[in-house]
Amino acid sequence: MLNIVLFGPPGAGKGTQSEKLIEKFQLVHLSTGDILRAERKAGTPLGQKAQAFIEKGELVPDEVVIGMIGLQLAKNKNANGFIFDGFPRTTAQAEALDKLLAENKSSITLMLALEVNELELKKRLLLRGKDSGRADDQNPEIIQNRIDVYNRETAPVKDFYSKQNKFFVVDGIGTIDEIFGKLSVAIEKNNK
Ligand code: AMP
């Protein structure tokens, strides 16, 4: 199985690159942000619970997103592998993911971290907000909070994979195809 954590701050290009990578490597795309937005739209209790956190740019509690990922892994038992996009966002989530995968005799193959500077992230998020209508991409204060939450709570997840020698950085500035090329090379090199 090929299991990739596509990592990076909000606006780094994880969603865009995931769409291309799932096609090339025949993987299942698991984006916790997408799942939460779908739950919210459908008005489920989970979606309602998540709403307040998403609106403020705070993280949804670990047990909620871990439960969601557990369900998706169980639903896709025959997958070639997964791209985890926007998950894990805390070390507790990373530990839980290792456990869930181990239950299926599987593990993370590598974490690819897209690096983009803060100024560029803010520019991209505001542009995306205009196109998509996503409220959390339109308010500069919420954007700043999401970046701060990333730096404080999510960036340490790098160490978790670094200790397992699974952490790779890719420059997230460039054209979509250039970045996709670099990600693909890193995957092919490490998928042995
Ligand atoms: P995203 O689309 O990945 O930027 O996620 C949008 C929002 O959903 C985040 O700002 C969080 O409020 C919530 N969210 C998504 N993934 C997670 C996660 N793994 N852990 C906690 N909250 C999450």
148-172 pLDDT tens trace: 999 999 999 999 999 999 999 999 9
CA of 87 to the centre of ligand 1 (A): 8
The strand pair at 110-115 and 28-31 is best described as unpaired
Mean of the per-residue pLDDT values for the chain?
Answer: 96
Q: How far apart are CA 182 and CA 160, in angstroms?
A: 23
Which residue's CA lies nearest to atom 5 of ligand 1?
A: 33
Atom of ligand 1 nearest to the CA of 57: 10
pTM across the whole model: 0.96
Atom of ligand 1 nearest to the CA of 146: 10
Over residues 101-139, the pLDDT tens digits come to 999 899 999 999 999 999 999 999 999 999 998 999 999
CA of 6 to the centre of ligand 1 (A): 14
Q: What is the DSSP letter of 84?
A: E
| Residue 192 pLDDT > 80 | no
| Residue 13 pLDDT > 80 | yes
Are the C-beta atoms of residues 108 and 31 closer than 8 Å to each other? no
Over residues 22-60, the pLDDT tens digits come to 999 999 999 999 999 999 999 999 999 999 999 999 999
**Amino acid at residue number 11:** G
**Per-residue pLDDT averaged across 64-91, rounded?**
97
| Residue 74 pLDDT > 80 | yes
Residue 33 CB less than 6 A away from ligand 1: yes
Q: What pLDDT shows up at residue 77?
A: 92
Q: What pLDDT shows up at residue 38?
A: 96
Residue 89 CB less than 6 A away from ligand 1: yes
Residue 9 CB less than 6 A away from ligand 1: no
Q: What pLDDT shows up at residue 94?
A: 98
| Residue 191 pLDDT > 90 | no
CA of 157 to the centre of ligand 1 (A): 15
| Residue 15 pLDDT > 90 | yes
Which residue's CA lies nearest to atom 10 of ligand 1?
A: 57
Burial code (b: 16+ CB inside 10 Å, e: under 16) for 86-107 equals bbbbbeebbebbbebbeeeebe
